[in-house]
Amino acid sequence: MSIEFKRNLAVFREVVSVEEAEGLLEWLQKKPTAKVDLGACVHLHPANLQVLMAAKPVIQTWPTDAQLRVWLESALVAH
């Protein structure tokens, strides 16, 4: 599992594959105040990304991968 679900925090690690999206969606449906830690994430499948975009959880840590961060900011930070 490249997403570790803590009490109120989902920690993304390395490459988050398409299979994780279902679980992430369910988890976020249950936890409307959840936070997300993307620090160690290097790539995530867009299925996960759109779940994050729709659920709008608080991004606690942005990815350290600068390129990915720019992409995710374009998607997750409201213009």
Kindly tell me which of 5 and 71 has the beta carbon lying closer to other proteins. 71
Cα-atom radius of gyration of the chain, to the nearest Å? Answer: 11
What 3-state DSSP class applies to 49? helix
> Which of 6, 22, 58, 64 is in the footprint of other proteins by CB under 8 A?
22
What 3-state DSSP class applies to 3? strand
Smallest gap from residue 40 Cβ to other proteins (A): 17
Smallest gap from residue 50 Cβ to other proteins (A): 6
Q: How far apart are CA 30 and CA 36, in angstroms?
A: 14
66 binds other proteins (CB under 8 A): no
